[in-house]
Amino acid sequence: MSSMNRKKRIGLALLFSILLIVVVGCGSQEDAQPKSDKLTVVTTFYPMYDFTKNVAGDNADVTLLLEAGTDTHGYEPSAKEVAAISEADVFIYNSEEMEVWVSSVLESIDTENTVVVNASEGISLLESTEEHSEHEAAGDDHEVDPHIWLDPILAKEEVNNIKAGLIAADQENEETYETNATAYTEKLETLNQEFETAFKGATKRTFVTQHAAFAYLANRYDLEQVSIAGISTEEEPSPAKLAELQDYVKENDIKYIYYAETSSSKIAETLANETDAELEVLNPIEGITTEDQEKGIDYIQLMKNNLAALEKSIQ
């Protein structure tokens, strides 16, 4: 071996040794840093995030996977997001019927280190009444309706499931989680009573909406949801279905057609234009912008907005 090559190899070995010392040294410094006592909690979409924040209070760093405007039904997590789930103390989702990707992700999660919370645990889901389109036949078929959070009473059950998950991960703060959950479920009960009072004695109990997300709400308060499309935000009605709905709206003197701001209102606009009805927002609360959150708008406020909107139809 030449003297030059020997010197080069010695030089490289010395360089790697220096790098190793630097990396180990940095790691030691990082290890020396005090770790946060807060739980790390990953939630899927907005209602799960809001419910969890209300129960966890200051005891957890809660993050949200799906930002506002993301199609909840068609979402697939990135590798980075899957890594965030696997590194979290707690992972909270609504149901495998809503977040259809969860079952495959859970196969790679070590449940010894991450508490997994199915917020719909113990809740009976309603069967879907939608007519299946070609789009759904390709794999977005909903046999049951996953929008349980739009019923304040079922939202209370989800909150209690979330509370149990947080306690399982952090028993030291059990009392705080119990107290926070009780306070929040009392707010949900007040919300429920507002809906009950508003619709008590109503003789006109039907509403027409583009997105079939409100079956649980309708079921809770003895209302009838008539949907233009199905549960999937991407589904569109056939021309025959749209013509049938036009006749229905005219014959039943329907004054308002509801749509969600987070999805296209094209079909609702078409139906409204053909029947001289007005457009009104009915929010499935699948996402909320950071700007609205900063204004103090949350799940309960959006549900109150929905109540005010529905009162225009339910009389």
Give me the tens of pLDDT residue by residue for the chain, a chain 315 residues long.
444 444 444 443 443 343 334 434 444 444 444 456 899 999 999 999 999 999 999 999 999 999 876 778 778 999 999 999 999 999 999 999 999 999 999 999 998 999 999 999 999 999 876 544 333 433 345 589 999 999 999 999 999 999 999 999 999 999 999 999 999 999 999 999 999 999 999 999 999 999 899 999 999 999 999 999 776 555 678 888 899 999 999 999 999 999 988 777 889 999 999 999 999 999 999 988 888 888 999 999 999 999 999 999 999
pLDDT of residue 288: 87
Strand pairing class (90-93; 39-43): parallel
pLDDT of residue 37: 82
Longest CA pairwise span in the chain (Å): 99
Q: Which CATH class is domain 197-310?
A: alpha beta
pLDDT of residue 36: 67
Closest CA to 100 of 49, 45, 62, 155: 45
Residues 238, 270, 253, 286, CA torsion sign: positive
pLDDT of residue 232: 59
Residue ranges covered by each domain of the chain: 197-310
- The Cα–Cα gap between 70 and 47 comes to 14
Closest CA to 115 of 80, 155, 152, 88: 88
